[in-house]
Amino acid sequence: MPSRTRSRFSSQRARLMANRSLITLVVYAFALAVGFLAVGFAMVADYAAEWNIDFFEEHTAWALLLPPIVFPLSVWLINRLFWGAGGGGIPQVIKVIRHPKPRLTDRLLGWRAFLGKLILTPLVLASGAAMGREGPTVQIGAAMMGFAHRFPGVARLFDSRSLIIAGGAAGVAAAFNTPLGGLMFAFEELSHKKAMRRTSSLLMAIVLAGLVTLVLQGNYSYFGYSNATIDWSEEWVTILSLGIFAGLIGGLYGRLMIMVVSPKGRIGGLRARHPYWFAAGCGVIVSAMAWVFGAEVLGAGYTETKMALQDEQALSPMYWLVKFTSTLVSFASGAPGGVFSPTLSIGAGFGHFYANLIDHEAAPLMLLAMVGVLSAVTHCPITAFVIVLEMVDNHELVMPLIFVSAVATQVSKRLLPSSIYQLLANHIKVSFAPVPETPAEPTSTADGNKPAGTNQAAGS
């Protein structure tokens, strides 16, 4: 090769490498933005949930009026303005990952869904919904990284599917301060056999989002630090039985969630035909439960779970069943809010109940049940194990946690054929029909959302 040709080739290669490095830095900048946004969103959402608890204690009668008003109002706003913002957000992300078409991406991860999640999730949590912010954070992160794909240089180097997977996983890493959990969530739940291009760069983007949380909020564990332990050799029967029960609870929980969104069932059909009245009815049920059982009905259960793990406050015997029901009802309303964090609270509540039943120390069984129920719902045993392990920074329970997550997942498969998020994604139906000239009653979808002139996606 002549020296002039070789020099030109080297120059072109250098420019190409420089452009790739610059584009990768742009992607990293978006990942950092996801981290900052997730931290800010968490602060607002947590403040909203805490405000509701205080408001309930000081003005119970007024607080009980909030869910029947806010639930249908949020559904109406989603249908009319914030298309794609209903439910939790993870199924919407999975739906787009399966079919990364521009129109579908714009509907489920566009600016309307993005702003809707940011605005309406704190509003719904302030009303007392038994839901969390983690699922919405996944959708927000995926939408943010999806926006990055609109840059021509980024689009040449990264495909939209891989960016969305990285954004959703970055949301998990930042929401829980669990970088490893975010990585596992990307591979085990979001990608779901879909290959990621330029994996090393995108994995670094996920870690960067988690590091933002670490820098801004310190090296904290989501549920504090726990030194709980259990003798694996002597208490294997307890561990095995807890895994079986957690699998049954998680499987039933997921099965009921599918039931309330499926338009073919009685409940799902009623939800599809009368979305606003149905959402109001769900709000009435949540308020009635709060009136009977107290503040433990409201919110995702983060505070109660953390205090119980630290032995600062005991959970009531039926806490897990109350949270199970209130979360299911809140989810059924179609209002924005996720079930990831409440699922952990349900597991913690059952572990506490089981410990009292067999006269055992509560903390280790709470942690095991948290992993078990989360594994049963998501069918992602490794993700559940890693996330809970990072949440409490306890390495004494590694083997029992792995065992319970595996057992619970296998038991759950007898009731729930796949991850609840994958199944909910199957129920998302999006129509791109043109807006009719004469206003007409739009066709309902599995999520009960009926936007003006075009059908809204289902999901949680």
Q: How confident is the model at residue 320 (pLDDT cuts 50, 70, 90)?
A: very high
Q: How confident is the model at residue 176 (pLDDT cuts 50, 70, 90)?
A: confident
Mark whether 358 and 311 lie in a shared domain: yes
Max Cα–Cα distance, the chain, nearest Å:
86
Last residue of a domain, one of 171, 189, 217: 217
- Taking alpha carbons only, the member of 426, 99, 59 closest to residue 264 is 426
Does any domain span residue 8?
Answer: no
Mark whether 273 and 147 lie in a shared domain: no
Domain count, the chain: 2
3 state SS of 250: helix
Share of the chain above pLDDT 70, in %: 85
Tell me the two tokens of residue 384: 């559940």
Q: What is the pTM of this model?
A: 0.86
Does any domain span residue 378?
Answer: yes
Question: Given this model, what pLDDT does residue 456 score?
Answer: 41
Q: How confident is the model at residue 87 (pLDDT cuts 50, 70, 90)?
A: confident
Mark whether 399 and 251 lie in a shared domain: yes
CA–CA dist 107, 456 (Å, integer): 8
Does any domain span residue 141?
Answer: yes
CA–CA dist 350, 158 (Å, integer): 43
Does any domain span residue 393?
Answer: yes
Question: Given this model, what pLDDT does residue 80 score?
Answer: 92
Question: Given this model, what pLDDT does residue 323 score?
Answer: 96
Neighbours of 435 (CB within 10 A): 10
Is pLDDT larger for residue 321 or for residue 19? 321
- Taking alpha carbons only, the member of 121, 404, 352 closest to residue 240 is 404
Mark whether 41 and 144 lie in a shared domain: yes
Question: Given this model, what pLDDT does residue 3 score?
Answer: 56
Does any domain span residue 444?
Answer: no
Q: Compute the average pLDDT of residues 14-20.
A: 54
Question: pLDDT at residue 448 above 70?
Answer: no
Mark whether 173 and 281 lie in a shared domain: no
Q: Which of 89-103, 188-202, 399-413 has the lowest mean pLDDT?
A: 188-202
Q: Compute the average pLDDT of residues 60-75.
A: 95
Mark whether 206 and 269 lie in a shared domain: no
Q: How confident is the model at residue 460 (pLDDT cuts 50, 70, 90)?
A: very low
Mark whether 50 and 105 lie in a shared domain: yes
* 29: CATH: 1.10.3080.10
Mark whether 168 and 242 lie in a shared domain: no
Question: Given this model, what pLDDT does residue 226 score?
Answer: 67
Mark whether 164 and 253 lie in a shared domain: no
Mark whether 209 and 243 lie in a shared domain: no
CA–CA dist 112, 129 (Å, integer): 22
CA–CA dist 120, 42 (Å, integer): 13
Mark whether 253 and 394 lie in a shared domain: yes
Question: Given this model, what pLDDT does residue 191 score?
Answer: 74
Does any domain span residue 322?
Answer: yes
Question: pLDDT at residue 205 above 50?
Answer: yes
Gap between the terminal Cα atoms of the chain = 60
Mark whether 277 and 413 lie in a shared domain: yes
CA–CA dist 342, 344 (Å, integer): 5
Does any domain span residue 231?
Answer: no
Q: How confident is the model at residue 179 (pLDDT cuts 50, 70, 90)?
A: confident
Q: How confident is the model at residue 450 (pLDDT cuts 50, 70, 90)?
A: very low
Question: pLDDT at residue 266 above 50?
Answer: yes
Q: For residue 246, give its domain range.
A: 236-424
Does any domain span residue 128?
Answer: yes
Question: Given this model, what pLDDT does residue 415 score?
Answer: 93
**Is the distance from CB of 128 to CB of 67 less than 8 angstroms?**
yes
Is pLDDT larger for residue 459 or for residue 358? 358
**Is the distance from CB of 141 to CB of 34 less than 8 angstroms?**
yes
